[in-house]
Chains A and B, each alone.
Chain A
Amino acid sequence: MNNVYLSHNNIVSAYGFDSASAIDSIKNEVSGLSLVNDSNILPNPFYSSLIAQDSLSEAFQKLDPKEAYTRLEQILLVSLSDTIKKSGLELTDRVGLILSTTKGNIDVLETENPFDESRAYLAELGQKIEDFFGFKNEALVLSNACVSGVLALAVAKRFIRQKRYDHVFVVAGDLVSEFILSGFNSFQALSEAPCKPYCKTRSGINIGEVGCSILVTKDDNNLVDKSVRLIGEASCNDANHISGPSRTGEGLYRSIVSAMNQAKIDADAIDYISAHGTATLFNDEMEAIAFNRANLQDVPLNSLKGYFGHTLGASGLLETIIGMHSLYSNTLYASLGFDELGVSQPLNIIKETTSKESSIFLKTASGFGGCNTAAIFQKVNS
């Protein structure tokens, strides 16, 4: 099977406009979450990590835009322009573009939004990104709930394997909007405090926003010093419920086993798990069951939601990029917000940032519609 690598990358977040600024803050256990009081989005104050609009506008103006772009488009363009530039790749017909998002420009449905409602069509969003940089291929938009970001990496690999592309830029992003928060609020899933994944005293989810991007390539001449190889991936449905996770962790368990089979590794080869960990009771419990079924209960594990909140369609890509840095710095980052185990099965939650020699990590994600994705990444020189 072909080698497929993850290479140049960027994170636009509350921490700043590159991957390094997010990593530095995580290393120092600084949360990006803060109390937001904006009654246009939600009547009550809520915890979130938001990208500062003034710094975003400033960064975006440097790209010399020729027309007006929505807030999400600005985030995606700022992130992707950095990744494309660093890669030095020419955008030929062998280069693909995948956009991963759950809701795209959904804020244009608000009556006071200055953009036309047609901007809410995801293909139009894809085309805006494609046209801005002059991609030769149509942007492929993947919208598969909260597994979109990590599934997009598997999708990129699959198109490279089919020889459709040699390189694929994946860009992911979702906004914190009234649309999203009111929905999660209607499920009574929002926490009134910073979220605490897997913790006994957890009380729900925080929603955050990021834009992130990465180069997926078959070419080992275009790697960075933190590049990883994508050695196994799978997505399995729970076939159980559209808005609640399976009690047996069925789809996640099957995804992990299938990804391990493809990677030809056993559970004991995995050094670290970057889990989904939304800090809702049902999600965290389902993951604990699935990880135990897969014999992964002793592997050090964290959720990064305590730093960013849940960043929806971008979360899987965001957390994969941070996992790459974690692997190469041989550092396991603390699962922020965690004090005491609050799930029924044992898990080895990373309580404080520690050093550990690592070469392989597992990334998982789960979402509405019963979808689950597992992906396994390995250091290039191991």
Chain B
Amino acid sequence: MNRSDYHIKSYCRIRDGKISKDGELLFSDASEEFPAFIKAAYKYFETDYSKFFKMDNLSKLAFMGAEVLLRGNDEENTALILSNRASSLDTDRKHQAAISNPKGGFASPAVFVYTLPNICMGEISIRHKLYSENSFFIFAEFNPHLLSDYTNDLLETGKANEVLCGWVDYDKNKYDAFLYVIGKKGLLAHNTEELTKLYRTK
């Protein structure tokens, strides 16, 4: 149980070919593969950011979630607290396959840089000009208790005015993002029951 004075301002869900915001379906696409789906989403939301196409799958997923939530949000001191299960393993496997190629493999710096899960927070920070706190945690599953504690601490100590936090996992063509913004005012109370309910809602 976790109670705080803060609120869920907005939340975004990306999975199963669908993107929704605050419970409302904004976009759906029948593509079975993630790269086609996320590219269609990029176009649908009229995103103009060519660096998007250089990103790895995890960064694209986190980037689109942040795009849905932070567009029009002018709070400069928004901290990022993200978490997932698979870290950057999707890109790690690509880097490993390149260097262990029996014909003589070579590492690519453009791939290697994405072998860190926090890079997706770097991408969001650049896009939205956020010079703020970043922390990336790995959990076996979505852990609203620890995320809430950490969020409350950044807000209570004035390290951040708002926090974008949540879950962003990409592994073996399966993707699951649940991102939300916590601030002083908003739609719903910031507590773990509410977060668990929103995460589980299909």
Contact = CB atoms under 8 A, between A and B. Distances in A.
Given A109-B93, A143-B117, A234 B159 contact: yes
Nearest to B143: A138
Given A109-B96, A242-B122, A151 B135 contact: yes
Size category of the binding interface on chain A: 35 or more
Q: Interface of chain B, helix or strand or loop or mixed?
A: mixed
Given A241-B126, A371-B122, A106 B116 contact: no
B172 to A, nearest CB: 11
Interface in A168-209: 178-179, 182-183, 185-187
A182 B107 contact: yes
B112 A186 contact: yes
A105 B113 CA distance: 18
B44 interface: no
Q: Among the interface residues B95, B132, B136, B138, which one has the most CB atoms of the partner chain A within 10 A?
A: B138
B125 interface: yes
Contacts of B159: 234, 258
Contacts of B112: 182-183, 186-187
A237 interface: yes
A104 B87 CA distance: 10
Contacts of B40: none
A111 B100 contact: yes
Nearest to A120: B89
A22 to B, nearest CB: 26
B117 to A, nearest CB: 5
Contacts of B119: 145, 242, 368-369
A110 B134 contact: no
A127 interface: yes
A102 interface: yes
A236 interface: yes
A242 B119 CA distance: 6
Interface in B112-138: 112-113, 115-119, 121-123, 125-126, 128-138
A323 interface: no
A141 interface: yes
A141 B93 contact: no
A140 interface: yes
Interface of A: 102-104, 106, 109-111, 120-123, 126-127, 138, 140-145, 151, 155, 158-159, 161-162, 164, 178-179, 182-183, 185-187, 234-243, 250-251, 254, 258, 262, 367-371
Contact of B136 (A106, A143, A250, A251): A143
A143 B116 contact: yes
B199 interface: no
- Which 9 pairs across A and B sit closest by C-beta, in order of nearness? A369-B122, A183-B112, A186-B107, A141-B138, A122-B138, A237-B125, A182-B107, A158-B153, A162-B149
Given A145-B118, A178-B99, A240 B140 contact: no
Nearest to B133: A235
Contacts, number: 155
Given A183-B107, A237-B121, A140 B135 contact: no
A145 B122 CA distance: 11
17 contacts: A103-B115, A110-B100, A121-B86, A140-B139, A140-B146, A142-B137, A159-B149, A179-B96, A183-B112, A239-B128, A241-B126, A242-B126, A250-B131, A367-B116, A369-B134, A370-B122, A371-B134
Contacts of A179: 92, 95-96, 99, 115
B105 to A, nearest CB: 8
B126 A143 contact: no
B118 A143 contact: yes
B152 A162 contact: yes
A187 B109 contact: yes
B66 to A, nearest CB: 13
Given A144-B135, A186-B107, A369-B116, 17 more contacts: A103-B92, A120-B89, A121-B86, A121-B87, A123-B85, A123-B138, A162-B153, A164-B149, A178-B99, A179-B96, A182-B112, A234-B159, A368-B113, A369-B118, A369-B122, A370-B122, A371-B121
B157 interface: yes
B192 to A, nearest CB: 12
A183 B87 contact: no
B31 interface: no
Contacts of B140: 123, 127, 138
